[in-house]
Each structure stands twice: as C-alpha cells, then as structure tokens.
Chains A and B, each alone.
Chain A
Amino acid sequence: MTANVATTCTDPVILDQWHPLLPLDEITTDQPNTAVLLGEQLSYRLDANGDPVVWLTADADATPLPILVEYLYVWTCLGSPPDRLFAIPEFSEPDRRNVHAGTIGVHVSAPRAVENFLDMGHFPFVHTDVLGAEPHTEVVEYDVHIDPDTNDVWATECVFYQPRAATTSTEGQMSDYLYRVPHPFCVILYKTTPLDKDRMDVIALFCRPTAQDRIEAHMFLSLLDPDNTDAAIRKFQQTIFGQDKPILENQHPKLLPLDSRAETPIRADKVAIAYRRWLSDLGVTYGVIPVSPTSASVTS
C-alpha cells in the first residue's frame, strides 16, 4: 500500500525535542552538506572557528538552528528545545571507550525501531547464535517502571541467554540487561560485561526521523572494552543492526500503532506496552498511529 504520510512534522512534542543529526567528527568542512530531519532539509558545515552550524536549507537567511554537541553527536531542534539532553553519566567515566558505531537508514518509523531495540524475544530468531540461540527462547518476567523524576521508561531485572553477547565474550552467558527510554526516539541499553561484574556497557540507539516512516539510526556505545578496535566494535554493531533492518522494513504498518487492539502483546512485551502508553501520554503523534476510538483499521 502506498503511504499517505504527511511529510512535514506538526507534532509539537517531537518538534521541541533535540534530534541527533550526525556524529560531530563527520562534519569536516566549511562546505555545506545536507541532511533531512522531520521532512525538512537541513544544511550544515563548520564555521570559521571549526564549530558546527546547522540551518534550514530553505531559509534564505540561513538563521542557525539551536545545536548541542553531546555523546559524540551534533543534536539540533526545529522547535524550542529543552535546556539539556538526557544524561548518560557513563560517557564521562575516564576508562570508557565512547564510540559511534555507524548510521543506518531504515524504512520504518522511529518508534518501531525503538521498540525493536527494547525487545529480547527476537534475539534467538533474528540474531541467531550471537545475541540468542534456540532453544533458549524464554523471556523471563522482568520489571517495568517510569522514573518519577526524569519520566524515563525503565525495564529492569531483564536476563537473557546469549551465546556471544559482545565483542569481548567468547562463550555463552546469561546476560543482565537494563533498558531505558529517555526520549521518544532514543533508547539506551545497559548490559553486563564479561570484564567487570559491577559495571555495565552502554549501548544506545539515537534515531533521526527523516520522515514519519523513515529513520537514520545512529548507534552509540560507551564500553569497558580496552582490547577491541573501534573497527571491530563497529562491525559487530553493524552486523547486529543489519539483521534487524530487514525485519523492521517488513513490519506493517510502518508507523507504530498505539491502539492496544492493533497487535497482540505477550508478557515479554511488557516494556513495549509501557513505551506505547508513554508515547500516548506524552501526546506523540509523529511516527505513530495514535489511538482513535473510532478507527478500526490500521493502514499506512
């Protein structure tokens, strides 16, 4: 079916967010380059001081848009952004490796990608022999809550059997996970590392929605891994995400349905259900099919 999806964003909740444009170190010249955010074409370049500037390509005056440089990325906003971005304190720990592991275009909405990132149940089937393996398919009961101070969605006490959970693992292990959704289109995973049982690796997905049903997905990592090269880490992450991409692009509808009767949840989807409800409560309408009491159909 052809998508009848409006190209520009009218959702104030999403317009007022910081969105990840691209890694800072990929802006290397004072020659303007372009990228799309929420259906708008943006131009960017380095200014005379070597700092990034971003503006709407269509804006004859090239009025700079607000920007923020955080977690190796340049973030920008088309509305009125909050003062700060969500916190990832691990980023500034001295013994961490902070890596941006690549950007992949996916023909799916941002919240579908976030939900996939929150999902352990697909590991044995989609990331076979890496993040999961049959017959270890069970998703055991975990806890979900919303942090009352930050309003982040958290899934805690998650465990899953993984044959090779990270670049540093050589054998199967039960991995412990925490998931956190601090932003409608960004999601962070904290995962046990074989190297230090008291600390966790941080793996994040920052989505830049280019359209309601298309994203550029940025992968950010903050790891306790002194050995692997950046290239090896990137390759591992890109392999994983490359396995998700064809699944995501075969999801129908591409926008995330917030109506609970559109799909069939199971207990393993507890965090996804919380995320959908949270998006509804925030009033997000971009990239989703909002709950409408009269609409019996989901199409896109």
Chain B
Amino acid sequence: MTDPTTLTDPTTLTDPTTLWHPVATMLDLPHRHIFHGQLLGREVAIWRADDEFINVWENRCLHRGVRLSIGTNDGTELTCRYHGWRYSNRSAGCTYIPAHPADAPARTICNRTFAAVEKYGLVWSGEDPIGKPPIVAALDDGTPFTLRNLPVNAPSQVVLDQLRQHRFQPVASLDANTARMTATEVNDYAIALTSTALTSTETDTTESSTAVFFVQPVDSDRSIIRAVLTEVPAQVEQLGVLRHHATALGKLVIAAETAAAQLPPPEPMVATINQVSLALSVMPEPMLDRQAPLRVQVARKWITAQDIVGFELVSVGDPLPTFQPGAHLDVHLPNGLVRQYSLTNGPGDTSSYRIGVKLEADSTGGSQCLHNTVREGDVLAISEPRNNFPLRRDSLRTVLVAGGIGVTPMLAMAQALKPMGLAFELHYFAQADEHLAFEEIRSELGDAVTTHVGLSPDETGAELARLLDGYGHANQVYICGPGPMLETARTIATAAGWPDQAVHFEYFKNTTEIDNSSSFEIALARSAVNLHVPPGKSILQILRDSGIAMPSSCEQGACGTCVVPVIEGKIDHQDVHLKQSERDAGDQIMTCVSRAAGDRLVLDI
C-alpha cells in the first residue's frame, strides 16, 4: 500500500491545462457517433465528421445547456436533441435554429472547441495545450497497440504512483514473474515501462516488452489509464497478452483506489463555462422588414470633396459590430427613407463607421436629408454591416476600379489588402480634382492609387481597356461606379479574357425597368407552403405578407440582401447583383425584383 506522503507534490507538477491528454481512443469514434468524454472536470463531446475531422467540443448546447453528446451526428453537423440547433463541423458555429426557420443565426453563436490530434490510436486534447502531444520514441519506432482503457476512481497522481511500481512480463515469458522493470517518465501524466526477462537458461536470450501508460485526469478523483504497447503482439499471443495486462492492471486499479480512499477527498475540479456575449444574451428583436438594430451618433460631419460629405458614426450602445471590406450599412434617415452606404473603414477599425454621401442631383431626399438635415450629435438608426460585395484575399493581383462615389468600398478593400502584402491597384475615376474624396485615406495608400480625372466616356473606356489588358491567373477585378461605366468595364473585362468569376461589381442602383406584370406560384420547400404572386407584387412582399421575416436593403435588385436559394423552376432575373454565371446557374433569386419565368418556383425556405 502506498504511503500518501510519497506522492508527487502537486505544486511541482506541470499545469495540467497546458498539457495534451488522451480523451478517447479512435475506437470510441465510430461513424456518426458522438462520444461523451471528460477531462479535468470538463465534459466534452467528441465526434468525427465524414471528412475525418475530429471535433472536441464543450458538451453543452449554447441554447439551454443540454449535453450535445445526446444529439445526432449527421457527418457534417451535430444537432442538439432538445430544439434541433445545428452546429457545424470544425467551427462549431450554429448554422440553423429550427424555431426561427427564416432567420439566419448570428454568426457569433459558436460553441467552444478544443484542439484535437490523433496519435498512437488515441485522441488527444486539452484545455489550452502547448506544443504537441507527448512524443514517445518507442511508440513512434514501433507498431503501437492500444489496450482497452481502464477507469480508476483515484486522482491521476495516485495512479501514476502505482504505475511506477507496476510490473508485467514481456510477451515471451508471460508466465514467469522475474522480469526486471525499468521506468521512464514521459511527463507528469505518462510513464513508459519496459519489462525485460532475465532468462538464465542455456539459450540466454533477453526478451523485453515496453508499454506506455497515459493517465487521463478525468476529475480530481477519477482517471482513465490508457495503455499502449510498442509492438502489436503476434496473433496467437494476443489473447494471452491482453489477459496478462488486464490482470496486472486490475490489481493496480484496486491498489490505486485503496490508496485514494485514504486521502482526504479532493475538491472537484471546476471547469468554467464561458459566458455568452452580451449581444447574444439578450433576446433578439423580431426580424422586422428592415432591420435597424444599431443606434449611432454622428461624431463628425465633414466635406471631403465637392458634393461629398463624410460622416463618422460612433455607437451609443454596445461596441459596433465587425464588418468586412465591401460591406454597407442601411442608414435610416429622419425623413423615413432608408439608404445604403458602403463603409470606408480599414480592417479591424470598429471604433467608428465612416461613410461618404454624395449629394445626388435627382435625389429623392436621401442624400439631401443627410447633407442638409443631419448634423453632428444626431442619432441615426443603422443596420448591422452587411457584405454583398466580398473581397477575396487570395489573389496575385487585385484591380480596384472606382467611379465617383463608388470609391468608398474600394477604399475599405485597399486598406484590407495593403497590410497583407497582396498586390493591388486602385484606379479612381472622377469628373474633376475637386470631386476626389477621402484624401486622408488615399495618401496612406500611396502609389497604389491612381486617379483618372476629367475623362470623357470614350477616354474612360480606352483607359479601362489599357488597365484590364492581359488577364493573368488569380487576378481579380472589383468595380463600383455609375451604371454606364460599370457596363463598359464589364464588357471590356470580358473581351480581355477575364472570366466571369474574376469580375466583381456593385451597382449603386438598378436602372433597368422592372417588369412585374407576371403572375405565378411559389412553393416554400422547408415550410411546405404554397403562395401566389400576383402582378404588381414582388416575391419579397408576398413572403412578408405571409409572415415570413425577410431581410432586404435596396429593394431594387442591386444589393443582394434579399437573396433566396431556388430549388426548382426557371427564373426571370431582373436584378443587377448577380453575375451572368450566377444567373445561368439558376439557383438563387433576388426576391425584391426577380420573378418566375414559368408558372412556378420552388424556394429553399
């Protein structure tokens, strides 16, 4: 029996939260199973996706705390048993909330994940593990053979202490008990033992076997011994070897539990559960037709160019949400109008949102209101930033083409590309020098920015043709500007051999005449509902009339916010958001303007 005083002083041990520990064997993770494990007092749900990725997650649904290990693994997602929330393989982000089928879950609903590595037939994980799982040369050089794991009701250090005195026989002489044992400590939670037979007979050969014992600290009073032999025993010997180790370890378990019973019961380990973010802890507002959940104050309003006013908006509540380059805001104006403006911010800068507003001559009141009525100190309602103009950041060359106020998203993109060292050029077309806005951002970008001032439409075309001459692999072009210039640029790019996927554009508005004279049926596949769309009404309106919360922004087929996936039926595309290849694919529709070409569409909502 062990004298408790011989135990390793816990204060000299490595902090177990920084170590890798085994949490399962690979056999615990059969196809589409979820294994319930525990490490250092924390329960984990361990599951292998069909792509072989091993997920180790906090075993707790973020919604109402139900164990995820009683849910289902469909190979790509894990579904909670209680309300069917779905969490994605790898990221553990929530992808679907069945109680609100029309709402996209907030991207930030994400379960806690832990690192996972497979090694020696075991799955390794840890709270905050540093480096790699322990390397045991004898296992790396051999053919590891994992024994059945053994739970012990004893602290891991009591188990290790017993392991230091553990004895077993080498494969060749299982029945003897004369083997000499040598121990090598792997780390504070693992030990390698070699058993060498001293054969004093005529043959005088020496046989030895090595086993590595990893002790998983389940809680302060519970452990699991996971033993791995360095060599797979020959088939005929396997049963005998297994039985031998089972017997020897069985005795060890009894000794460890007896020793543990003499110690004062340890405090249980406490695994802190992270709080959910403040934003997620409040019940979300109902999805209104147009959402404006954020309140901002105009901190600064300045003239950045002729007819262009810059606005700096700061939050009056929670910190502003993150955004992506190319994102825009819906700004709800005091006169009831809603307008979209692109953010000019550089990456990671959420201290304020900065937008540029051009006074439109034919303004229906949106830009006029911002120019003339809204002042510094005023509070505006805005939407969260939405990005329908995403920037790829894996390109060898990025050409940014801006016309007039179309420079705003380009400035955000340029500032995102620059620190990444990705080659880009920003071409800024304007009527006159006085019209060039955001000098302070452009000067930071240096010679990456070229201005083209005062060109006629023909000259602009010629310049664009020169710029876009010679498409190369992994080149991307982004265009934002007035409709005619955008059309020209797209035509030129196509002629110069730019593939459709490499040409990205954002229209300010859709100037095509919308034909809404058709009537047709829509079937909503997920809710098994059929609806009729009469002439004069959009799909978006019909969906909303039947109580389905639909996001939208420009409502003229330019911004892409109201997109819905299409399962079946031909589409009459009337938007300017989709590219030709996306239109041809026929699997998405801008519900604010586009319609069915036939008499029925099946939508994936």
Contacts and interface: CB of A to CB of B under 8 A. Distances in A.
A95 interface: no
B81 A268 contact: no
A267 B283 contact: yes
A135 B98 CA distance: 8
B66 A247 contact: yes
Interface string B57-70: 00110111111001
A124 B84 contact: yes
Interface in B254-284: 268-273, 275-278, 280-284
A298 B277 CA distance: 15
Interface stretch (A26-34, A83-91, A220-228, A258-266): A258-266
B273 to A, nearest CB: 5
Contacts of B66: 247, 250-252
A135 B283 contact: no
B284 A266 contact: yes
A108 B535 CA distance: 56
A141 B219 CA distance: 43
A139 B100 contact: yes
B270 A1 contact: yes
A40 interface: no
Contacts of A139: 99-100
A292 to B, nearest CB: 12
Nearest to B274: A296
Nearest to B277: A261
B82 A267 contact: no
A41 interface: no
A121 B270 contact: no
Given A267-B286, A299-B271, A299-B273, A138 B65 contact: no
Contact of A125 (B81, B282, B284, B286): B81
A261 B82 contact: no
Contacts of A261: 275-278, 281
B603 to A, nearest CB: 14
A260 B281 contact: yes
Secondary structure at the A interface, as helix, strand, loop or mixed, is loop
Contacts of A125: 81-84, 98
B65 to A, nearest CB: 5
Interface string A233-264: 00000000000001100111100010111111
Interface in B96-113: 97-102, 109
Interface in A119-168: 119, 121-122, 124-126, 134-141
A122 B272 contact: no
B243 interface: no
A96 interface: no
Contacts of B100: 138-139, 266-268
B286 A141 contact: yes
Interface string A66-101: 000000000000000000000000000000000000
A297 interface: yes
Contacts of B219: 1
B65 A263 contact: yes
Contacts of A1: 41, 219, 268-271
B506 interface: no
A252 B272 contact: no
Nearest to A139: B99
23 contacts: A1-B41, A1-B271, A115-B64, A121-B99, A125-B82, A125-B84, A137-B99, A139-B99, A246-B70, A250-B70, A251-B64, A252-B60, A252-B66, A260-B282, A263-B63, A263-B65, A264-B280, A266-B63, A266-B100, A266-B284, A297-B272, A298-B273, A299-B271
A-B residue pairs, 6 tightest by C-beta? A137-B98, A268-B99, A261-B275, A297-B272, A121-B99, A139-B99
Given A1-B270, A141-B286, A252-B43, 20 more contacts: A1-B268, A1-B271, A2-B268, A124-B98, A125-B82, A125-B83, A126-B81, A135-B526, A138-B98, A138-B100, A246-B70, A250-B67, A252-B65, A263-B276, A264-B62, A264-B281, A266-B99, A273-B283, A296-B272, A299-B270
